Amino acid sequence: MRIVVTGGAGFIGSNFVRWVLDSDPGTSVVTLDALTYAGNAENLAGLDPARHRLVVGDVTRPDDVRGVLDSQVDAVVHFAAESHVDRSISGAQAFASTNVVGTQVVLDAVRAAGVPRLLHVSTDEVYGSLAPGDAPFTEEHPLHPTSPYAASKAGADLLVLAAAATHGLDAVITRCGNNYGPYQFPEKLVPLFITNALDGEALPLYGDGRQVRDWIHVHDHCRALGVVLQRGRAGRVYNVGAHAERDNLALAQQLMALLDVGRDRLVHVTDRPAHDRRYALDTRRIQDELGFTPFIPLDEGLAATVAWYREHRDWWERIKSGAYRAYYRAQYGERLS
Ligand code: NAD
Ligand code: TYD
């Protein structure tokens, strides 16, 4: 197979590129990524250049997307997005641009090039917030996004479904819970808390810390994406989760135990506005239709993730210092958009 991956220099995209190249020796990948602050060419370092190529380009620019698509491409997996809720609260413009407009550009380019399949990678945050006793979200749950990030992802999902209905585009959507694992940018809860703990800094817990998230290891998410890409039904949405609900306080305590740091490091800070109370996913569809089940229990996955950040201090220190921005230029000498 020949696959084009948008946003492949980010956290989940780079894990997916590595996973797909490892699992199928016959597959080659082109990554299209704008290398925003969240994109890091180092995440893709060491891959076989005969099977993987990184093209720096922006999904909001039709020429950039058309430039990587031709009749030989078997599938596009669309990860490229602005992904951090807190950033969407301080400025939503880039979210509307990349997540909504960029997705429409990808849809138009996929259709024009006759690419047989598009997998659009979305999030459980489009459903909104659950109360503690509510049933988990099914794929039929109405969309009630509360943050500009979630609203822009919901807009993208609706454009994908509209292209499938109107133009018969073969597109599938996944909506996954909170991911954790290697190569996650240290602005998100898990890598921020691990790297702050390793640096002797405070761990800032928003509000009362009682917000619940449904956690999944990124490697399980990648396997689910592979299954949906190969066998998901066109025009359909699949939830992806690992049935691991934890509130933020419990997760923080688990990380602190793994990192051997004391309670005094945990500081309660001002809550995020419109902070969703709880996410939880009903994953019967992907399990019953496609036979997918996650492998990695949260306790094991968190321990492995802490070990990875301990062993890859260079990687996250270059992010925290900003040095990672120079890597692409040093390796390839080309433009950094
Ligand atoms: P990330 O922020 O780590 O990576 C995003 C990547 O997209 C970066 O490499 C960035 O350079 C690239 N990008 C941003 N704007 C671009 C543009 N205009 N053109 C081309 N590339 C651009 O994000 P992530 O956590 O890896 O998330 C990937 C996808 O998965 C997103 O669509 C996100 O909504 C979805 N998702 C994430 C999670 C999670 O827990 N992180 C959960 C469910 C779904
Ligand atoms: P985050 O990793 O930003 O993912 P999302 O908001 O997309 O779920 O945050 C996960 C949870 O952790 C969320 O409830 C907000 C909370 N949080 C903190 O308490 N402190 C922090 O510094 C961060 C980044 C998040």
Checking phi first, is residue 262 left (phi over 0); if not, alpha (psi -120 to 50) or beta?
beta
Choose the residue to mutate in 189, 218, 251 for probing ligand 2, maximizing ligand atoms within 8 Å of C-beta. 189
Whole-structure pTM value: 0.97
Span 100-154, pLDDT tens digits: 999 999 999 999 999 999 999 999 999 999 999 999 999 999 999 999 999 999 9
- CA dist., res. 299 & res. 197, Å (int): 18
318 in a structural domain: no
Residue 195 has pLDDT above 80, yes or no: yes
| Catalytic residue of the set 58, 64, 149, 214 | 149
Q: Is residue 304 part of a domain?
A: no
Question: Is 166 domain-assigned?
Answer: yes
Nearest ligand to residue 191 Cα: 2
pLDDT for position 121: 99
Cα separation, 58 vs 215, in Å, equals: 29
Given pLDDT bands bounded at 50, 70 and 90, which one contains residue 337? very low
The residue contributing the CA closest to ligand 2 atom 20 is 205
Do the Cβ atoms of 171 and 235 come closer than 8 Å?
Answer: yes
Residue corresponding to tokens 């890091």:
40
Q: 203-212, pLDDT tens digit by residue?
A: 999 999 999 9
Residue indicated by tokens 């500009």? 148
Take atom 3 of ligand 2 and give the residue whose Cα is closest. 188
Instruction: Say if 249 falls within a structural domain.
Output: no
Per-residue CA distances from 216 to 184, 193, 279, 296 (Å) = 13, 17, 12, 8
- Tell me: pLDDT of 22 over 50: yes
Q: What is the structure's pLDDT at 331?
A: 63
Number of domains the chain contains: 1
The answer to the question of residue 250 being in a domain is no
Tell whether 252 is covered by a domain.
no
CATH value at residue 223: 3.40.50.720
Task: Tell me what the mean pLDDT of segment 214-226 comes to.
Answer: 98
User: What is the side-by-side strand order in the sheet with 245-247?
Assistant: 178-180, 212-217, 245-247
pLDDT single digits (tens) 268-282: 999 999 999 999 999
Q: Which atom of ligand 2 is nearest to the CA of 178?
A: 8
> Does residue 124 have an active-site annotation?
yes
Residue 317 φ/ψ, nearest 5 degrees:
-70, -35
d(CA 159, CA 163): 6
* 3-class state of residue 110 by DSSP: helix
Residue 329 confidence (pLDDT): 64
Q: What pLDDT, on a 0 to 100 scale, did the predictor assign at position 326?
A: 81
Q: Is 238 a catalytic residue?
A: no
Q: Which residues line ligand 1 (CB under 6 A)?
A: 6-7, 9-13, 33-36, 38-39, 58-60, 79-83, 98, 102, 121, 123, 153, 176, 178-179, 185
For residue 21, the enclosing domain spans 2-182+216-243+278-296+324-335
> How far are the Cα atoms of 47, 53, 71, 126, 237 from residue 68, in angstroms, in the given order?
19, 10, 10, 29, 26
Report CA(278)–ligand 2 centroid distance (Å): 12
Q: What's the pLDDT band for 224 if we cut at 50, 70, 90?
A: very high
Task: Report the pocket of ligand 2 as residue ranges, CB < 6 Å.
Answer: 85, 125, 178, 188-189, 192, 204-206, 211, 213, 248, 272
How far apart CA 127 and CA 175 sit, in angstroms, is 9
| Interacting residues of 322 by C-beta distance below 8 A, sequence separation 6+ | none
How many Å apart are CA 64 and CA 61, to the nearest integer? 5
Q: What is the overall mean pLDDT for the chain?
A: 96
Query: pLDDT digit string (tens) for 5-20?
Result: 999 999 999 999 999 9
The answer for residues whose C-beta is within 8 angstroms of residue 53's C-beta and 6 or more apart is 29, 30, 31
- Asked about 247 being catalytic, the answer comes back as no
Measured from the Cα of 240, ligand 1's closest atom is 43
Residue range 280-335, pLDDT digits in tens? 999 999 999 999 999 999 999 999 999 999 999 999 999 999 889 887 666 655 55
**188 Cα: distance to centroid of ligand 2 (angstroms):** 6
33, 58, 64, 125: the active-site residue: 125
Q: What pLDDT is stored for residue 162 in this prediction? A: 98
Distance from C-alpha of 141 to C-alpha of 127, rounded to nearest angstrom: 7
Q: How far is the CA of 85 from the centre of ligand 2 (A)?
A: 8
Task: Tell me which amino acid residue 54 is.
Answer: L
Listed in order, strand segments (DSSP E) in the chain are: 2-6, 28-33, 52-56, 75-78, 118-123, 171-176, 178-180, 203-206, 212-217, 237-240, 245-247, 266-269
At residue 237, does pLDDT exceed 70? yes
Q: Note whether residue 223 is domain-resident.
A: yes
Does pLDDT of 220 surpass 50?
A: yes
Best probe residue, ligand 1, of 5, 37, 43, 79 (max atoms within 8 Å of C-beta): 79
263 located within any domain: no
Task: Give me the sign of the Cα torsion angle 209, 211, 215, 221.
Answer: negative
Query: Quick one: what percent of the chain has pLDDT higher than 70?
Result: 97
